[in-house]
Amino acid sequence: MPMKWWGWGEEDETFPLPDPEGFWTYVHNRLGETGESPRIDSLARADVRPSRLEGRDAEAIRRAAGDGAFVTEAPVRALHSFGKGYCDVVRLRRGEVANPTDAVVWPDTEEQVAAILDAAAERGIAVVPFGGGTSVVGGLEAAPDRPSVTLHLGRLNRVVAVDPVANIAVVQAGILGPALEQQLNAHGLTLGHFPQSFQYSSLGGWIATRSGGQKSTLYGKIEERVHSLRLVHPGGSLSTPEVPAAAAGPDLNQLVTGSEGVLGVITRATMRLAPQPERRDYRGYVFPGFVEGIEACRQLVRCELRPAVLRLSDEPETEVTLAMRAPSSVQPGAPPVHASLLILGFEGNEREVGWGWEQAEAILGRHGAQTLGSGPGEAWERSRYDGPYLRDLLLDHAIMADTLETATTWGHYLDLYHAVRQAMVAAIGERGIVMAHLSHSYTDGGSIYYTFLAAQEQGNELGQWQRVKSAATQAIVEHGGALSHHHGIGRDHRPWMAAYVGRGGARALLALKQAFDPRGIMNPGKLLPAPEEAAVE
Ligand SMILES: Cc1cc2nc3c(=O)[nH]c(=O)nc-3n(C[C@H](O)[C@H](O)[C@H](O)COP(=O)(O)OP(=O)(O)OC[C@H]3O[C@@H](n4cnc5c(N)ncnc54)[C@H](O)[C@@H]3O)c2cc1C
């Protein structure tokens, strides 16, 4: 079933609030009254300019696509001009498509992908690769200044071969999470990659954005699972060597992972797999506060423990979690929650899981954690893909709801956490909610994932969002955090990219662009700093 055009999930799916009345009382108590959130009743009503791809240009792309579909109908173009970030959904709901793509193509083969890129390069037409369409950083916007074609990978969606001796599989890039996992599970294997967007995002999109799954502390981010890959670019292709490791210059896989469609199209990848776990065991704990919890998490990963799930909410997020599950405990008059909720889970065989708990419980006990048993862990597992449905519900009530993320080393973790939080609170105003959690941990540091909520400023919804986003991103860069830990750069973080990578980094990235895409047709306006930002002074 296709996703609903105005939000997340299928048409009749919604977020199951256990106590809606209690939850909305809590929300309005915190955010104040909220207004109306208008939505057009059909995408056919969206304001979409005619396709700029005409005559011979259109014919050349259509011919290159061969049997693959080539579509220029306005609603299809509208839908494929956005990702699923807050601003995307707000604009689509209003039917505002200021910069639609001019055509969508669905190639069936890698040869067709190559032919489309070559035809586009010859004619100066921009190409935007489209996997699952779940970008939250403006990664799928059409080129504003020239005709633009969106290249949908959805038909390149096969598991080509599974090698159970090496535990690797060759997979086409357009496959979505559930279809991929199902086919790997049939061989007793898993990729172990479960982003919250799992149901609708694609392997190619994960690799192109260096995605992080909910179990990355055990399985690693997606770039760690790439064994080799193929990139089709204008005028050629790159197939990286199929070896487990090499000392043959810089790692070509890592030049392509995170390239966000600006170098070419990832058409297939060979992925490292793991055996499916025999046992999964997730439990809840509560700490006196976020500070104590962070120290415990740091010690857990520093002693080489690899939990599948290590998710620590700060105090505000713990309170909102309670408001969703047991609203009566956080209604007006109830004291603010001063506790930090941890979901910790191990998976693997019996011995691995048992050893994990033995080590972890000793560390948790030393930091004042109290056990809540398996209930919260099971609830987290059941609801781990539900967040985006709640965003739709909040949007229906004219509430801005979005997330952003970064990462840093343990020594700087709490300073960065507070600095970004303060910047966001100042930008959002008194009646907003800013909350955060740690969900991806490494021996040297961890991620920080913020969620922010406020009543929408009617008529200034996008300006309001930009104010919070800019304040947070500026604080991240000034305090040495990762410009993005797993969402990518896209269009939204691009203004900070030159400051983040420095002039040397910017020059290296632009040289790579020149090598793969000298005509500059691939996903213009994303990821890469502008040439003037890379110039030597
Ligand atoms: C509700 C929600 C939850 C999310 N949760 C997570 C999460 O837990 N972890 C996480 O990492 N991200 C998350 N994201 C962000 C998003 O899902 C990821 O960035 C994901 O990797 C994008 O995959 P996709 O297939 O949807 O790519 P798309 O959105 O289609 O594309 C993303 C970018 O990659 C490029 N691209 C796509 N496919 C290819 C290809 N084959 N070759 C070259 N370039 C390509 C596109 O041009 C674009 O720039 C979430 C997003 C939403 C909306």
Confidence class for position 505, pLDDT limits 50, 70, 90 = very high
Could you read off the pLDDT of 218-243 as tens digits, one per residue?
Answer: 999 999 999 999 999 999 999 999 99
Told to judge if 449 belongs to the known catalytic residues of this protein, a careful annotator would answer: yes
Could you read off the pLDDT of 134-185 as tens digits, one per residue?
Answer: 999 999 999 999 999 999 999 999 999 999 999 999 999 999 999 999 999 9
In a 3-state reduction of DSSP, which class is residue 343? strand
**Does residue 527 have its Cβ closer than 6 Å to ligand 1?**
no
Nearest by Cα to 278 from 213, 346, 212: 346
Q: For residue 489, what is the DSSP state?
A: -
**Residue 363 token pair:** 């560390």
**Residue 268 token pair:** 């297939």
**Residue 401 token pair:** 């709801």
pLDDT value at residue 248: 97
In 3-state terms the chain splits into helix, strand, coil percentages (rounded to 5) of: 40, 20, 40
**Does residue 406 have its Cβ closer than 6 Å to ligand 1?**
no
d(CA 100, CA 505): 32
Least confident range of 221-225, 292-296, 334-338? 334-338
Ligand 1 centroid, distance to 134 Cα (angstroms): 5
Ligand 1 centroid, distance to 354 Cα (angstroms): 35
**Does residue 523 have its Cβ closer than 6 Å to ligand 1?**
yes
Ligand 1 centroid, distance to 358 Cα (angstroms): 37
Nearest by Cα to 212 from 189, 190, 226, 193: 193
pLDDT value at residue 15: 82
What DSSP element (H or E) covers 297? helix 290-302
The total number of residues written for the chain in this structure: 537
Residue 534 has pLDDT above 70, yes or no: yes
Residue 329 has pLDDT above 90, yes or no: no
d(CA 244, CA 203): 20
- 370-373 β-sheet, strand order: 370-373, 279-287, 340-348, 309-313, 433-438, 445-455, 399-409
**Taking the CB of residue 278, how many other CB atoms lie within 10 A of it?**
12
- Single out the catalytic residue among 200, 385, 449, 500: 449
- Give the mean model confidence (pLDDT) for residues 20-45: 91
pLDDT value at residue 86: 97
Query: Distance of alpha carbon 412 from its chain centroid, rounded?
Result: 24
Nearest by Cα to 202 from 151, 250, 134: 134
Confidence class for position 38, pLDDT limits 50, 70, 90 = confident
pLDDT value at residue 324: 87
Residue 215 has pLDDT above 90, yes or no: yes
- Give the mean model confidence (pLDDT) for residues 436-445: 97
pLDDT value at residue 537: 61
- Give the mean model confidence (pLDDT) for residues 437-451: 97
pLDDT value at residue 14: 81
Could you read off the pLDDT of 382-424 as tens digits, one per residue?
Answer: 999 999 999 999 999 999 999 999 999 999 999 999 999 999 9
Mean pLDDT of the chain: 95
pLDDT value at residue 3: 84
Confidence class for position 1, pLDDT limits 50, 70, 90 = low
